[in-house]
Amino acid sequence: MKNKNNIYVLPSRPHYGRSFELATSLPLIGYAVIIAVLVGGVFAGITGDALKIAATDPAMRQAVLLSLVTSVASTALAVVMAIPSGYILSRCDFRGKAFVDTLVDLPIVLPPLVMGLAVLIFFNTGLGRWLDRGIWPNGIFVYQPLGIVLVQFIIGGAYAIRVIKSGFDAQDSGLRDIALTLGAKRRQAFFKVELPNIIPSLVAGAVIAWARIFGLFGPVLLIAGTMRGRTEIMPTTIFLETSIGRIEVALVVGALMILISGSILMLLKRLGRMEDVR
């Protein structure tokens, strides 16, 4: 169409293709409705008595605190480990790389319960028993909070590595080469050129790893058990409350997990968008 100066300009938003966009949006709308109905059902099933029980139970508060502390600690460990790991897998070629890359992906494709079983079997070997009880007689990992962090780190680390490696893969390696040509050392090129350019991938890796870690149940149950006030976290609280018939209290914990998860995911995604703008 023409503007007032008789110059042809494109419309700000084309009107063609609207029917195709509407048709392709139907699966998204349907899936979003399903999730919304399920989440809404959790909140709708909460009663005042259940809220009072959950709010006044010290073990419940301890479970919430332990869930937050362990998930944040294991996510931080996973991201710190994933940065150099993703860099090596992306930038370097070495003998056995395909095998190592496959090993890293195993916690993603295997059921988490299998990884928890593998950790439990390891701590029943001579080396595992020494690592767990050789330094501290009461144990460091088995039926201890550090055991929760360990299994969360093992499973969440694979997701962090995969996302951060993708960030390095998508980055133009020529930027590093230019920095090296200008006299930067390899370490300087990494910290000042390559790492700042994958901040969105770091945020995404942290989001995905934390999301996988926060709701982890089976491996935690095998390694740390469900001891109230000691190794109980929110997913195991839901299991315990359901097993004794207090479904309404389990719904309160589930609703709290939804609120925490949604809030943290929105915050981390917001930080990721802020880094994109920068």
The Cα 82–Cα 192 span in angstroms is 18
- Residues 196-250 have pLDDT tens digits of 888 888 988 998 999 899 989 989 999 988 888 788 999 999 998 888 888 988 9
- pTM for the model stands at 0.83
Is the predicted pLDDT of residue 73 greater than 90, yes or no?
yes
Please give the domain boundaries of the chain with CATH numbers for all domains: 48-277 (1.10.3720.10)
Predicted confidence at residue 264, as pLDDT, reads 81
The Cα 165–Cα 58 span in angstroms is 42
Predicted confidence at residue 1, as pLDDT, reads 52
- Residues 106-158 have pLDDT tens digits of 999 999 999 999 999 999 999 999 988 888 888 899 999 999 999 999 999 99
Predicted confidence at residue 9, as pLDDT, reads 54
Q: What is the band of 278 on the pLDDT scale with cuts at 50, 70, 90?
A: very low
- Calculate Rg over the CA atoms of the chain: 24
Predicted confidence at residue 67, as pLDDT, reads 93
Predicted confidence at residue 163, as pLDDT, reads 93
What is the chain's mean pLDDT, rounded? 85
How large a percentage of the chain has pLDDT more than 70? 90
Q: What is the band of 13 on the pLDDT scale with cuts at 50, 70, 90?
A: low
